[in-house]
Amino acid sequence: MLLLKDMEELRASFMNKYANLPFGAREEIIAVVGDIPFTWNSAMIEIKDNLTPTGDKILRQLNDLKIL
């Protein structure tokens, strides 16, 4: 189980990776929550300011996949 501190570290890791991505790569799908695919850009919206439940699921998927 990930703690709040761990989630903040994942969020920071996501933000760092996003900032270093080429603009074209930001349109690639990185996670699917339910039946909805999320690109780096759409994931950023879910994660950036207020971590939404969907953003939480995206971060967990990226962590499980060892992307973060």
Q: Which of 31, 27, 28, 35 is nearest to 64 (CA)?
A: 31
Which pLDDT does position 1 carry in this prediction? 59
Structural domains counted in the chain: 1
**What are residue 51's phi and psi, to 5 degrees?**
-65, 115
Which residue range(s) make up the domain with 56? 4-64
Residues 40, 29, 23, 44: what is their CA dihedral angle, to the nearest 10 degrees?
-10
The pLDDT tens digits for 19-61 are 999 999 999 999 999 999 999 999 999 999 777 899 999 999 9
58 and 46 Cβ atoms separated by less than 8 Å: yes
Integer Cα distance of 50 and 42 in angstroms: 14
Q: Which residue is listed with tokens 């890791």?
A: 13
The pTM of the full predicted model, rounded to 2 decimals, is 0.87
